[in-house]
Amino acid sequence: MHDQSDQLEPETLLREISDLEGRIGELRQAAGVPQPDLRATLDAALVELELALTVLRTVGTEHTGEQGGSAAAENERRVLRTVFQDAPVPLFLLDRNTTVRRVNRQAAALLGTSAGYVSGKQFTAFCDMATRAAVRSQIAAVVRTGRRHPVKVRFLGREHPVDATVTLARVWIRGEPDPMVVAAAGPANAPAVDSGPAAAQPKARRSAAGRAPSAPAPSAAAAGRAAPARTIAARGTSTETASALAVGTGTAPAPDVPAREEHARSTHAAQPDDEAVATIVHRMDVLATASELLLDEPVFNETVAIRRCARLLAAELADWAFIDLTVGNGGPGPSAQAGGTPPALRRQVVMGPEDERSVEAARMLEEVEPVQGTLPHTVYLTRQSALRPHLENLDVLGVCPDGQPVCGKIGVTSVLSVPIEDGDRAMGTITLAASGEYGPFDLMDLGVVQRLGRYLALVIRAARLYRRRAEVAETLQAGLLPRALPAIPGVSVAAKYLTATHGSEVGGDFYDVFRTENGWGLILGDVCGKGEDAAAVTAAARHCARLAARWKADPGDVLGIVNEALMDEDRFVTAVMAGLTVETERVTVSLGTAGHPPAIVVRADGVIRSASRGGVPLGLFDDFEAGQDTIELGVGDTLILHSDGVLEACNMTRQEFGQERLLEALAGHAGATPAGMLDAVEDALLNFCDSDLRDDVSMLALRVEQASLD
């Protein structure tokens, strides 16, 4: 190694100017990161000014290097490699672009990884976010001026950040066209570069027993959230341990994990057995907790599931959690063609720290879509998990509206992303990001999140299937009920239908109002069971009654025809039918009952009586005979037909609503309109059962009105 002239060729000058523009942009971004180190950024800006002045002074001149014998050069390189590896301090050999060309054993141990993992990556990828731009500028200054320069650096170690003083020195290596930099790291002899409250006081790591060791109090930046439970165990597990967890969780290391095997082998001495066990137990606890949170819903709810999942991950494994899902019903399948266009990926939820700045950032990041080229989008398309323990490219999560990279905006240095897939197709991605306060993500974290992605996918699939079935059931149910009730001269009619709270299958209740041979008919029935089969029987019963009433006047005869039509069905039907003979201010009601709750009459003066019971359900016996009754209604009198869902609704103690409560609700609102009376019954019913209806409810009300003068 030897000194060279400080002169520049024209081609080198253009490259220097381009590099300078890039570093100035990084300094601008550094000023906007959480808890920026403004003093270090200012110092670096001054260094860049000095560098620009030096470049201008050397325009148009050249430098030459010395040539030596190949044998002597090889011997020199051998000696230097030995000295480099055995040096008692951590050493990094960097090129002018800050790429790590070589590290010694002490440097690898400082970072808690292997030399092979560090080589080829950006030196600044192992520094905390707040000082990266400043460190890059200081390296550029050393390359240009040749003057040694000490700089405070906070390395992102495997267990926790490590503060160090790094001395930068320029060297010329024979055979290399450009100067290089040796970075020698020593213990910090002064407080570390102030990168904000989070850097000033490292968060305490919990021991395997869950107790925090003696450490300074948590920083102000950490006050908004508890220390993630991922810190309860050491990160230094062996490859075998990580592989065992991957197998145990049903996952395998993803092909997109850079240098993953070498990184897994890069640990220090093996941790005690109890630490390794605690690490695995914690990951299993996270999965168990996730299972409880995702399945603790009577009805699967996609929105609830993804928010619970994101909140758990942000609390236990990361600083930030992002969940992105497809807009449609699925994404690329196992045999997706290259020419196909998968559904768009949209950001659903962002969870992060709870301090005011982070909450504001989360709201902004919810609007930053995972566009093509970002890590979540790539993982979604390829269905391959990705682990970035040390970020070099800050654009992997996209760019904020102000042009700043997302990773720089929230100060994260380690990212992993896994697909949300159910084995058939991808539905989205889970992406975790961390600041490095507890070390970078590793294969064990990846394995846990992969399994959680599968859990979430199954819940989402069930939720979407449930929602589709509920929509189909709602549409089918609407087709089984009249769209509007016909206008009957001299009377007013109202109806009410309430679906059961639980379940997505179409119900078996039906009602109808239609013309008969001599007047009008009302029918209300309940088919045994639910679902498509019950819907078919419901449609058959309703339309058969409509048709039979065209040539049969007596409700008993109409129900007899319906019974005959349903004998080949596997389900029975209970029903009550009223045949109306309408006269001026008077209606004669002929009732036919087939094993159904009897009709109720509410007189104008508030007196209530029930019609007679009788008959057997339709579709059971050939020798059917309906229960019959006749009622006279005057002005203000109201006829009520209802299903057994009203009577059998239960409260928390399994007590039924019953006939008496129904009569009380009707009597208390006898002066209301027919629609008002049914609303009163609905309110009383829902209050009684706390809005938890176990069966569908249907009601019909008919009232004789005062004759108009017209």
- Residue by residue, DSSP assigns 560-573 as HHHHHHTTTSSS-E
Number of domains in the chain: 3
Residues 608 and 667: beta-carbon distance below 8 Å:
yes
Residues 415 and 391: beta-carbon distance below 8 Å:
yes
CB atoms within 10 A of CB 651: 13
Query: Can you tell me the distance from the alpha carbon of 307 to that of 543, in angstroms, rounded to the nearest whole number?
Result: 46
- Average pLDDT of span 421-428: 86
Q: 21 and 107: one domain?
A: yes
Residue with tokens 């058959």: 540
CATH code of the domain containing 433: 3.30.450.40
Write the CA distances from 584 to 310, 403, 588, 708, integer angstroms: 67, 79, 11, 10
- Average pLDDT of span 191-207: 36
| Residue 666 resides in a domain | yes
Q: What is the pLDDT of residue 330?
A: 54
Q: What is the pLDDT of residue 64?
A: 42
- Which of 59-63, 128-132, 519-523, 544-548 is predicted with the least confidence, judged by mean pLDDT? 59-63
Q: Kindly report the average pLDDT of the chain as a whole number.
A: 77
Write the CA distances from 358 to 204, 361, 439, 487, 696, integer angstroms: 21, 5, 20, 61, 47
Q: 463 and 509: one domain?
A: no
| Residue 370 resides in a domain | yes
Residue with tokens 């064990």: 444
Residue 286 has pLDDT above 80, yes or no: no
- Which of 141, 174, 200 finishes a domain? 200
Phi/psi at 479 (nearest 5 deg)? -75, -15
Over its C-alpha atoms, the chain yields an Rg (Å, rounded) of: 38
Q: 355 and 382: one domain?
A: yes
Q: What is the pLDDT of residue 231?
A: 41
* 549-588 per-position pLDDT tens digit: 988 889 999 999 999 999 988 889 999 999 999 888 899 9
Q: Which helix (H) or strand (E) holds 415?
A: strand 414-421
With b for 16 or more beta-carbon neighbours within 10 A and e for fewer, the 569-597 pattern comes to: bebbbbbbbbbbebeeeebebbbbbbbbb
| Residue 163 resides in a domain | yes
- Which of 419, 446, 468 finishes a domain? 468
In the DSSP assignment, the letter for residue 99 is B
Q: Which residues does residue 325 pair with via DSSP β-bridges, in sequence order?
A: 346, 428
Query: Can you tell me the distance from the alpha carbon of 689 to that of 651, in angstroms, rounded to the nearest whole number?
Result: 4
Residues 456 and 420: beta-carbon distance below 8 Å:
yes
Q: 515 and 450: one domain?
A: no
Q: 19 and 116: one domain?
A: yes
Query: Can you tell me the distance from the alpha carbon of 452 to that of 447, in angstroms, rounded to the nearest whole number?
Result: 9
Q: What is the pLDDT of residue 288?
A: 67
| Residue 227 resides in a domain | no
Q: What is the pLDDT of residue 63?
A: 44
Q: What is the pLDDT of residue 588?
A: 93
Residue with tokens 């199954």: 458
Q: What is the pLDDT of residue 463?
A: 78
CB atoms within 10 A of CB 335: 6
Q: Which residues does residue 702 pair with via DSSP β-bridges, in sequence order?
A: 493, 639
Q: Which two tokens stand for residue 693?
A: 């209806």
- Average pLDDT of span 149-159: 88
With b for 16 or more beta-carbon neighbours within 10 A and e for fewer, the 216-249 pattern comes to: eebbebbeebebbbbbbbbbbbebebbbbbbeeb
Q: What is the pLDDT of residue 214?
A: 31
Q: 422 and 353: one domain?
A: yes
Residue 600 has pLDDT above 90, yes or no: yes
- Which of 174, 200, 226 finishes a domain? 200
Write the CA distances from 186 to 90, 168, 208, 398, integer angstroms: 7, 11, 30, 35
Residue 292 has pLDDT above 70, yes or no: no
CATH code of the domain containing 488: 3.60.40.10
Q: What is the pLDDT of residue 159?
A: 79
Q: 156 and 272: one domain?
A: no
Q: Which two tokens stand for residue 599?
A: 């009709």
Q: 248 and 119: one domain?
A: no
Q: Which helix (H) or strand (E) holds 91?
A: strand 91-94
Q: What is the pLDDT of residue 264?
A: 43
Residue at 270: amino acid letter: A
- Average pLDDT of span 620-640: 93
* 519-541 per-position pLDDT tens digit: 899 999 998 877 667 777 888 88
Query: Can you tell me the distance from the alpha carbon of 321 to that of 312, in angstroms, rounded to the nearest whole number?
Result: 9
Q: What is the pLDDT of residue 308?
A: 84
Q: Which residue has the higher pLDDT, 529 or 430?
A: 430
Q: 295 and 362: one domain?
A: yes
In the DSSP assignment, the letter for residue 288 is H
The DSSP-derived string for 354-367 is: -SHHHHHHHHHHTT
Q: Give CA 46 to chain center in angstroms.
A: 45
Q: 262 and 114: one domain?
A: no
Query: Can you tell me the distance from the alpha carbon of 34 to that of 48, in angstroms, rounded to the nearest whole number?
Result: 23
Alpha-helical segments (H) within 162-211: 197-200
Domain range for 663: 481-704
Residues 6 or more apart whose CB falls under 8 angstroms from that of 513 comprise: 482, 485, 486, 488, 493, 495, 520, 521, 522, 700
Residue 422 has pLDDT above 80, yes or no: yes
* 343-378 per-position pLDDT tens digit: 889 999 999 998 888 899 999 999 999 999 999 999
- Average pLDDT of span 183-192: 67
- Average pLDDT of span 61-74: 50
* 207-252 per-position pLDDT tens digit: 333 333 333 333 333 333 334 444 433 333 333 333 333 333 344 4
Q: 462 and 500: one domain?
A: no
Q: What is the pLDDT of residue 36?
A: 72
Q: What is the pTM of this model?
A: 0.56
Q: What is the pLDDT of residue 235?
A: 37
> In percent, how much of the chain has pLDDT > 70?
70
| Residue 351 resides in a domain | yes
3-class DSSP state of 96? coil
| Residue 230 resides in a domain | no
Q: Which two tokens stand for residue 570?
A: 């596997």
pLDDT band at 438, cuts 50/70/90?
A: confident
Write the CA distances from 608 to 320, 523, 590, 597, integer angstroms: 64, 21, 18, 15
- Average pLDDT of span 170-198: 68
Write the CA distances from 194 to 201, 296, 357, 399, 604, integer angstroms: 10, 45, 19, 26, 84
Most confident of 29-43, 288-302, 313-327, 461-475: 313-327
* 455-476 per-position pLDDT tens digit: 888 888 877 777 776 666 666 6
Residue 490 has pLDDT above 70, yes or no: yes
> In percent, how much of the chain has pLDDT > 90?
31
pLDDT band at 78, cuts 50/70/90?
A: low
What sign results for the dihedral spanned by CA atoms 297, 302, 307, 309? positive
- Longest Cα–Cα distance of the chain, Å, equals 125
Residue 386 has pLDDT above 70, yes or no: yes
Q: Which two tokens stand for residue 238?
A: 């062996």
Q: 304 and 364: one domain?
A: yes
Residue 84 has pLDDT above 90, yes or no: no
| Residue 69 resides in a domain | yes
Q: What is the pLDDT of residue 134?
A: 86
pLDDT band at 157, cuts 50/70/90?
A: confident
Q: Which helix (H) or strand (E) holds 151?
A: strand 149-156
| Residue 107 resides in a domain | yes
